[in-house]
A = this chain, B = another copy of it.
Amino acid sequence: MKEIKIYSPATIANVSCGFDVLGVCLDNVGDEMIFRQSEQKGLRIVEITGADLPLEIEQNVAGVAGKALMEQLNPNFGIEMIIHKKIKAGSGIGSSAASAAGAVYGINALCGYPLTNKELIYYAMQGEALVSGAPHADNVAPALLGGFAFIRSYAPLDIISIPAPKELYATVIHPQIELKTIDSRSVLKQTVGLKQAITQCGNLGGLISALYTEDYDLLGRCLHDEFVEPKRSLLIPNFAALKQVAVKCGALGGGISGAGPSVFVLSRGKQIADCVASEMRNIVKEADYQCDIHVSPINPKGIKELI
């Protein structure tokens, strides 16, 4: 293979009670990336559209992730990468992760797939480290594996791929406000009550069970986050109202996507997910900020190869 074009999807990290451990893959929001073999060795980003991002390898998440993998695989050809960003940066739906995961997927493909998608996660994480300071996997893992990805541990890296119940849809609203990661992080407490921690464990264990048994009601009962949402949601305009309309439409529940400002809602079936989107639109109509709203099934496979 001399050239490949891929679709690298958006993802939701920090899925409610799965704070820092659970991510899920969206299906119809994502970047396109093209990879071409070149005679000149090494990795180059030759074009970026849709976002004002640096072409320099060391300053670009796709570059950093891709370079880490190239050093490992050491192919006897070079690779040129073109990135068409469709996921807005800072939206909280894994924009940088899509770039990093896409980069390692494309490079691995041009090299003849020596590594599995699970093995690629480590390299994609190196790109994520550039933007967030620490390598984290809860966006890159679902982008590469599809469905839900559960991060059991970072040392050693231990990631479990869990299929999503088939009728599950996500509605994501991205209010176009600036929410600095530093603000998002500063509301995190360094300790939690033992009782809260046990409540979180109860909901998380229930959620994992619900995914395996496709028990939508149980899934809905588990979508509560004790650790972060109570504080972080205060930084997101209309958060309570957005969750409230989700309940009104019959959705299962939701929370903050990643570190925000996007808010996600999970529903059984497209009809409810569409209802949530429409009601959310009504809420923000009066607000003095713009927003994007996406309705998406869960993407079962992650990154896709385009013709």
Contacts and interface: CB of A to CB of B under 8 A. Distances in A.
A121 to B, nearest CB: 15
Contacts of A22: 205
A104 to B, nearest CB: 23
A204 B153 CA distance: 11
Contacts of A188: 194
Nearest to A153: B202
A19 interface: yes
A122 interface: no
A158 interface: yes
Interface stretch (A71-79, A84-92, A206-214): A206-214
A166 interface: no
Report copies per complex. Answer: 2
Given A191-B191, A194-B192, A209 B162 contact: yes
A164 to B, nearest CB: 14
Contact of A208 (B20, B191, B205): B205
Determine the interface band of chain A, counting residues with CB < 8 A from chain B: 35 or more
A218 B160 contact: yes
Interface in A16-60: 17-22
Nearest to A22: B205
A151 interface: yes
B150 A206 contact: yes
Contact of A202 (B21, B207, B212, B213): B21
Interface in A132-162: 150-153, 158, 160, 162
B193 A227 contact: no
A194 B189 contact: yes
Nearest 10 A/B pairs, CB to CB:
A152-B206, A212-B212, A197-B197, A208-B208, A152-B202, A191-B191, A20-B198, A205-B208, A160-B209, A201-B204
